[in-house]
Structure 1
């Protein structure tokens, strides 16, 4: 397994000390971006956990629909309009995550026809047509456990934003299938850079997804909303007893609501 694969898995999931627990949490995160049949512009969530990705995507989607759309009724969206809105939204979030202004973007996609025996880590390569990638809708969750899922991921790199937009539209069906949410989360992380994220999180040993309850951390939510994986929600940095606590920049494109998680 490559170092990139190990770093990505540990950043998101933490050390895999309990395979059964990891698979349980992993299965709860295996869903795509699916629109509600009763509310045209609403994304649905099926299990606890992936709201940490779905909610920020929903926020960007509604922002675009309310402030840039010329529709008379924002609650009425046809299928093609939904696809267009979703792809625009994913592009906006990835553009925000590109923190170094290098114009370099990444997508996590699938390697067509590969099995666990064929490939054991995330591979890297140039942008390719989506027809060369695995359509995961044909694969059941049981067939793609935690380990095999990561063995099938392919990192696609793009040198310009127009290239990225074309690829996102080209892979529109992938975002809606069984693993669309996780593939998009990995795309944001790879675009931002694993080391950049570690430098922004207060405690880099804490994974972005809680290994016990499966919810996303505040750092994960902030990363998707603002492009900064800081652990706090106030504006600017603050010093306390000689320590500097990193907070959000002031020019947030969408409002931030801090996540509180309790257990009984």
Structure 2
């Protein structure tokens, strides 16, 4: 875990859709050799939320499969292109077939490659296959079942705690209700998505198949909201909405898109949306995700007749129970075959979606689908541009831990690979780090080991919450003491700027750097004045200027915004690292000692890590239990 650079966030172009429209496109990631489509002349446009399903086929097309002509002449290359619509018997609602969003399909392929490399190891994939689950004894603490997904879980936990600290002052963490914890989780996820600084949120969703047409858990529900601007009730318990409506007759024709993707693989897809005039009705569509998408299977999707599909029993992903939990016995290939995406223009719509489809977060793959959502929302081009070097996968192929680029993306919305401030020139290469103050901080034990240098933007975040890194795991440190992140005093700014010219942490700089330091602090930096100060600060002409001498000269009345004593709390999501194998928060009382000297105690790694932020800190943990960084 170590550092990389800045740059302005790129806002992705806005696709032409209704301002409050919801575009749902399913995606496919495995190889398929048939490119087929049937064109349908456009009949009408829809203004209701847009639903698009795209199957990803993993098997080659059979020799008996009839190849259809490729779709052409469609306006708009992705979701939102006009297709054909058929009105229902009463004329109050219809189905419109549209061209699926091929861009999403391609980007999901690229994201899979970026995360896992050339192949996904099944044992590593299983370690990442978990939902967002809360502790039995600490209602707002997420549980991490195995090593690896802390690169996502710890940042999510950090944002959740940030919301509690800022919006719920004085609340007792143990008294937070289960429903409120779910609401806080959704808010935390939306905070992370907001950091991507995009105009459109592309949320990844995993399809579930039911064994019969009447199963409620095997449906994908899309509701047309009469008031799309209404804010979601984030404090309400998660729920799934479903309304039964008269069956919609299938259209006379179907449209299946086939398009080449990288490596010769192809994907087929079907797009179905409720047409204008549906009012507040919700269309429940049983989605049968087959090995191949054919005109017959399209009819099955529209009719909700999954039992009629010829491949309804192949590679099925069945629900375990009424809560919508997914079958654990699914391979990484089957997982990627069942991904699709939903587009939102408003983060409040994302929150509403997660509230009404909470099982997508709590099921076996909740962590993975959210991670894919962040990458897709950010955009693969921007992600790879920030990373620079994509030769190694972001998830270690053997140990399963996440790279610093993945951690930084979750914390800041940028996937830079380093944790120092701005750019650093290393051997002629400009390596980018953190470009601005982050909402959530980051400190790591690896800095004390001289493997990296964490910059001020991470050490001094906007809110008193820090992700803490060891050599194997990520945990979270937080406090209710908001003065820990109060604006810098002039002396603290001076100390930070001086240390930025002292990357080795020696507490001195070369006397030739004095002019640059003074200029960075907007102090007098004329050559004559600099020469005078060099002689004054380095009377023995050793060629170095000590930090203490510099501070005494330019900031003699040093003040400190940080209080001398404060309370800290620590979270570790691994049950085995907690007392009684139950994930809980641990409380401690911290004190900042006089002077800049610090002791390195290898038997107390958590204090050693804290000293990279507060060099002279000591802490006494309550109940005599010292938290673990691993």
Would you say same fold, with TM above 0.5?
Answer: yes
Secondary structure in 2 matching 1:155: strand
From 138, 158, 173, the counterpart of 2:344: 158
1:189 and 2:354 equivalent?
no
Aligned partner of 1:48 in structure 2 is 147
Shift of the 37–124 alpha-carbon distance from structure 1 to 2, 3 Å rule, reads: farther
Alpha carbons 2:132, 2:142 under 8 Å: kept: yes
Q: Deviations over 1:107-144 (max 9, x none)?
A: 110234399xxxx86979799989657868443222x2
Aligned partner of 1:29 in structure 2 is 128
Higher relative contact order (CA 8 A, sep 6+): 1
From 133, 156, 175, the counterpart of 2:361: 175
Alpha carbons 1:49, 1:214 under 8 Å: kept: yes
TM-score normalised by the chain length of structure 1: 0.85
Alpha-carbon separation, structure 2, partners of 1:131 and 1:71? 43
Shift of the 169–122 alpha-carbon distance from structure 1 to 2, 3 Å rule, reads: farther
TM-score normalised by the chain length of structure 2: 0.37
Alpha-carbon separation, structure 2, partners of 1:122 and 1:58? 38
Secondary structure in 1 matching 2:340: strand
1:261 and 2:471 equivalent?
yes
From 100, 103, 113, the counterpart of 1:10: 113
Aligned partner of 2:513 in structure 1 is none
Report the count of equivalent residues: 251
Alpha-carbon separation, structure 2, partners of 1:122 and 1:248? 40
1:251 and 2:443 equivalent?
no
Written as runs of structure 1 = structure 2, the 5 A alignment for 1:222-261 is 222-258=408-444, 259=469, 261=471
- Compare CA radii of gyration and give the structure with the larger one: 2
Alpha carbons 1:107, 1:157 under 8 Å: kept: yes
Instruction: After TM superposition, give the deviation of residue 96 of structure 1 in Å.
Output: 0.7
Q: Deviations over 1:24-66 (max 9, x none)?
A: 1000111111110111221101111011110000000001011
Shift of the 138–68 alpha-carbon distance from structure 1 to 2, 3 Å rule, reads: closer
Aligned partner of 2:167 in structure 1 is 68
Secondary structure in 2 matching 1:257: strand
Aligned partner of 1:89 in structure 2 is 188
Computed over aligned residues only, the root mean square deviation of the Cα atoms, in angstroms, reads 2.8
Alpha-carbon separation, structure 2, partners of 1:125 and 1:95? 27
Alpha-carbon separation, structure 2, partners of 1:47 and 1:248? 29
Aligned partner of 1:80 in structure 2 is 179
From 190, 195, 200, the counterpart of 1:104: 200
Secondary structure in 1 matching 2:175: coil
Instruction: After TM superposition, give the deviation of residue 202 of structure 1 in Å.
Output: 3.4
Alpha carbons 1:97, 1:224 under 8 Å: kept: no
Aligned partner of 2:391 in structure 1 is 205
Alpha carbons 2:202, 2:373 under 8 Å: kept: yes
Structure having the higher strand fraction is: 2
Alpha carbons 2:135, 2:142 under 8 Å: kept: yes
Gaps of 5+ in 1: none
Alpha carbons 2:206, 2:360 under 8 Å: kept: no
Gaps of 5+ in 2: 1-29, 31-104, 212-265, 275-281, 288-316, 445-468, 473-630
Alpha carbons 2:141, 2:157 under 8 Å: kept: yes
From 312, 328, 331, the counterpart of 1:141: 328
Alpha-carbon separation, structure 2, partners of 1:67 and 1:74? 13
